[in-house]
Amino acid sequence: MSDAGLPARRAALAALTAVDEDDAYANLAVPAAVDRLDAARDRAFASHLAYDTLRWEGTLDWALQQVLTRPLDAVEPALRRILRLGALQLLRTSVPSRAAVSTSVALAREVVPRNRAKGAGGFVNGVLRNLDRRRDTLPWPDADAEPVTALALTTAHPEWVVSDLLHRYGLERTRAILEADDAPPGVTLRATGDRDALVAELRDAGLDARPGSLPESVRVPGADPRRLDAVRDGRAAVQDEASMQVARATGAGPGERVLDLCAGPGGKSAHLAALVGPAGRVVAVELHPHRAKLVEQAAARLGVDVDVHVGDATRPPLPAQERYDRVLLDAPCSGLGTGRRRPEVRWRRRPADATELAGVQRRLLDAAAERVAAGGTLTYAVCTWTAAETEQVAAWFDDAHGSGFEPGERRQLLPDADDTDGMYVATWRRRDQPDP
């Protein structure tokens, strides 16, 4: 590959910059950047480079540090992103070394002021050529002597995430979870009408569509949902099966009253509205106005009614006496379970985040519990797998509210066994009368 591949790499770099500087999610930043490319092949290549550079960031940084004479953190951010992009091509693709290096040098000369362009290009050229020479002799840690570090580098996850899983699942299962978390997910749709008719429609369009594991789910690997008529027309919603499992875990049925707390961006709210039907009622509370707007838009696009309120879920802006048959708290969390679609999240989080978020989650559960009618259910969901935010929060609720709530199903969905996001779901039923 020659410099003709520069536009695709330029688009990949634009996506990396948006994630890095604008705090954008990869699943939004990457499509926005690569859509500017004319050729489908270039779009696919740019997407692959961007997602995998984000996914393997920690490992790429480690490899680059082996050949740098100064800390990688001391390299200016724009050149650091270019080095990662070049290192990915050298270490994890079949791109010829000359193309990986020359295009990286060209990018470096583009992103710095003209008076520094030559020096920036020379710096990137020297680092990547050195890495290319040494890539077969990098000092990878011994898996027996340093199992956590070795697994972290070979599966592209922070060591604290590896350790958290190892304590509960053991080495082989942890490896399977993390490797599955590195596999790009296919597209999953929730059919809003006849699921079999949707599958047939997608197959007629030449797509490899097949029924999912839920009555409303459809797997469409390789599809671009933005180009699907069914999604545009509201006959399908892009939604991971883990999110569908959460809505179903509430037990919501026709005619019931449902409260969805922390509801943005609205996929679960719309699903709940479909489950309760026109005779039921779904009330959604979302703290951030722009996310509340997304809930309204999702409901309108999918043809369901959701009563949306902007407010703090610890003090919902609702009449004090209102109680609901089903209450869902899809709580703010570390988001590690979304790593297949948002690989940058794993590098943004620190161990203390899970502990701090668990405190928020407990406060939200206290408030959610007050809104459950006698005999109704409370469902807690987080798109993560840390012990602090999942089983430990559920155990805390059992202790704090055991007199009023009876424990129900507990489930940790994981990408290796379930081919979904890493979602934790716990349910409780409010007793008709508290235990004496």
Per-residue pLDDT of the chain (436 residues; tens, 9 = 90+): 345 699 999 999 999 999 999 999 999 999 999 999 999 999 999 999 999 999 999 999 999 999 999 999 999 999 999 999 999 999 999 999 999 999 999 999 999 988 898 999 999 999 999 999 999 999 999 999 999 999 999 999 999 999 999 999 999 999 999 999 999 899 999 999 999 999 999 999 999 999 999 999 999 998 999 999 999 999 999 999 999 999 999 999 999 999 999 999 999 999 999 999 999 999 999 999 999 999 999 999 999 999 999 999 999 999 999 999 999 999 999 999 999 999 999 999 999 999 999 999 999 999 999 999 999 999 999 999 999 999 999 999 999 999 999 999 999 999 999 999 999 999 999 998 654 4
Domain ranges of the chain: 3-137, 147-181, 240-430
Contact 243, 220 (CB under 8 A): no
Phi–psi pair at 411, nearest 5 degrees: -150, 135
Q: Out of 75, 295, 327, 383, which one is annotated catalytic?
A: 383
d(CA 11, CA 49) in angstroms, rounded, equals 9
Q: Domain 3-137 is of which CATH architecture?
A: Orthogonal Bundle (1.10)
Spatial CB neighbours of 90, under 8 Å, sequence gap ≥ 6: 97, 100, 101, 128, 131, 132, 135
CATH number belonging to the domain at 240-430, selected among 1.20.120.1810, 3.30.450.80, 3.40.50.150, 3.40.50.300: 3.40.50.150
Q: Maximum distance among all alpha carbons in the chain?
A: 78
Alpha carbon 19 to its chain's center:
13
pTM over 0.85: yes
Residue 383 appears among annotated catalytic residues: yes
